[in-house]
Chains A and B, each alone.
Chain A
Amino acid sequence: MTLAPANPAHQLQLTEDGQLKHFLTTEGLSKSILTEILDRAESFVGIEKQAVKKVPLLRGKTVVNLFFEASTRTRTTFELAAKRLSADVLNINISQSATSKGESLMDMLWNLEAMASDMFIVRHQNSGAPHFIAEHVTPHVAVINAGDGRHAHPTQAMLDMYTIRKHKGAFENLSVAIVGDITHSRVARSQVHALRGLGTEDIRVIGPKTLVPSSMETLGAKIYHNMEQGLSDVDVVIMLRLQKERMNSGLLPSEHEFYRLYGLTEEKLAFCKPDAIVMHPGPINRGVEIETSVADGPQSVILKQVNYGIAVRMAVLSMAMSGQASAAGLSDTTEGVE
């Protein structure tokens, strides 16, 4: 059988010697790289408490926040992360820019590259868009995926991993449940890949069949349609946001029925281990996927997740930038040999 050469994202994002040079997906990343991200993030936590909230790792670099989809928290945490690394940051809101006038993505990239950008942080409504950009940018420009379609949201997944490690230590013997709209969730896919990479065996996804694709099993997750079974003795429960438009497209009868079956109430939380933590990538819909007393309760780590976001993104940005530098160094050496 003939196959055209493909460039899976997990190959594209690594240098020849296995360092991160783009960050497109958590899929296929080794435990050591995933752990390196978490360790490096650890070293950045607390930097905001210093008198000078900056480290010079990206000094003189230009980072472009290229957001084709609206976002407040992800964009601002990326911006803060880049600034704390001493980079110059350019925010481009595409809904106000030239693509709405018909300029192609390629033309736009070339224009931005002409401004000597060193890194693109991309959020896009189409799955694979950051991958496409990474394939076409000039060598030595790093691409960071800030969420693409339903495909991946790797920095969100890594800050969730950071949160889990912070509270639970190791990943190997954990049971983790992800609840809600898995089908449309780039976060869930990236979380499952990251958990697998870090050694978690018991990963569960819970929801009705309209929101949980059977393909999740091929990623290494077990599928549950019932909260009592799915939450039984888990260490971590991650609730996903339920988009209102899911009701209109016939995926659910009502918010009420979803809440009754899959909303995380105190009663359902009791199925988990007593020390289980409750996570949510936000923004939360109180009374739709989670009860207020659970969201604000002692087991909730939802607000802490937000805090870790900046440190994790600093880690990823600095690793990708040094991966690019090392890739450039490697190719220089090759040229020297020739």
Chain B
Amino acid sequence: MEYSTGGKTVANLCIKNVRVIDPDNGKDDICDVYIMDGLIESFHQSPAGFSADFTLNGEGKWLLPGAVDLWARLCEPGLEHKGTIHSETKAAAAGGITHLCCPPDTLPVIDTPAVANLIQEKAYQSGYAHVLPIGAITKNLEGNMLSEMHALQEAGCIALTQLRGPIKDTKVLLRCLEYAATFDITVFFQSQDAALAKNGVAHGGINASNQGLPGIPSTAETIALCRDLLLVEQTGVKAHFGQLSSARSVDLIANAKARGLAVTADVCAHQLAFTDDVINGFSSVHHVLPPYRNESDRKALIEGLESGVIEMICSDHQPHEAAAKAAPFAVTEPGISSVETLLPSSFQWVKQNCLGENRWVKALTQNPAQLLDIDAGHISEGSQANVTLFDPEGTTSITAENLLSDGKNSPWLEQQLPGKVLLTICDGHISYKG
């Protein structure tokens, strides 16, 4: 598939002595990178006719493929009081992201080509990142009737999903998967059993019980995941499992892969950092779905990434206006503003030697790009320049003023995370410069 972002000046630039980490091409070298007319022109010598608009000293810095985020809400259309395509793609660029998928829970829902087209058009005009809409697999995400899947695919929907919402019954789910398989459409799952999760706002463990908060047990995820895996096996649909939260889910995905099922999985960066201990102060910024679970789950998620059972890290960016979080915990809206912390919040596990550098880069670039089957997640000579300049020794200070997202609901406010995005180049133009 071909994507481009519109209307921006393409710069000619040279980054000297930078460490290029590109797992897709098996490249990990220190070199001089020349970007000309929007393309990665050369890794060694100045190409003929090249005149740099500016030159950067890349010493000690890493040049990574632009990050590909599988789940990031832009809130437009319909929820512009939380964020807009312009504000949130700009924030994504500041997070080192060049490509992102936006889920269909907009108003109206992405269940018609018109909405999918509107989002892509607006994103193109903003020009900060490639936006790949994920369509709804049922009409209005209601779980009753199939959406016009083929039309959505033609309109640029990169995958289809029901998100965490229930589908009327297992038979309708089976039909959805069969129909999607007909057109080789990838289905993104966020497995959750509706009855077990009903009214829940936190992990159904000790902390929720002691705080008197309605819980969502891990089995809400694993029971649905078992069902979904079996239906994927039956229908042969291309399937990806998003936002795992429990250790048993990692096991289930590993087992499915072991028996030859070609499924993939991702985890939210914040799930690697927090456990449900944080809900003890009723702090609504920690109201997220799936909920933070316990320490053994958190560790299993990091180990799952390191072992390759989980291939990708996503932001599950969900910006909110202040009022959405200014209420008693259970009635606040779930989710955190997280595109800008995607890289540093996950890089801390590299710093702590829990996750290999290569694994980390792949999980953010090559693996999601391959899942989506897009020309991204690599730094190849002659290809569009979609890259991120990252300082592994820098620190990112998160404050409400620094965040470009309209949503200031970050759990890392007033804190520092290791590593810093210095520059993001999307299709050869500078989409972010710190």
Contact = CB atoms under 8 A, between A and B. Distances in A.
Interface of A: 1-4, 6-9, 104-106, 124, 126-129, 131-132, 136, 148-152, 183, 186, 189, 213, 215-216, 218-219
B206 to A, nearest CB: 4
Contact of A128 (B209, B282, B285): B282
Contacts of B284: 132
Interface string B250-269: 00000000000000000000
A128 B415 CA distance: 25
B327 A149 contact: no
30 contacts: A1-B274, A1-B298, A2-B273, A3-B274, A3-B277, A3-B278, A4-B285, A4-B286, A4-B415, A6-B280, A8-B280, A9-B282, A106-B323, A106-B326, A127-B211, A127-B213, A127-B330, A128-B213, A129-B328, A131-B282, A131-B328, A132-B282, A148-B212, A148-B328, A149-B212, A151-B213, A152-B212, A189-B210, A215-B210, A216-B209
Contacts of A9: 281-282
B328 A128 contact: yes
A132 B328 contact: yes
Contact of A2 (B210, B211, B329, B412): B412
B205 A215 contact: yes
B328 A126 contact: yes
Contacts of B278: 3-4, 6
Contact of A149 (B206, B213, B283, B412): B213
A44 B348 CA distance: 57
A92 to B, nearest CB: 17
A126 B274 CA distance: 23
B331 interface: yes
Contacts of A183: 209
B281 A126 contact: no
Contacts of A186: 212
Interface in B202-259: 205-206, 209-213
Nearest to A127: B212
B323 A104 contact: yes
A149 B328 CA distance: 10
A60 to B, nearest CB: 31
B326 A215 contact: no
Nearest to B209: A215
Contact of B206 (A124, A151, A215): A215
Contacts of A148: 212, 328
B77 interface: no
Contact of A213 (B209, B280, B331): B209
A6 B411 CA distance: 10
B302 to A, nearest CB: 11
A94 to B, nearest CB: 13
Contacts of B323: 104, 106
A100 to B, nearest CB: 14
Contacts of A150: 212-213
A218 B328 contact: no
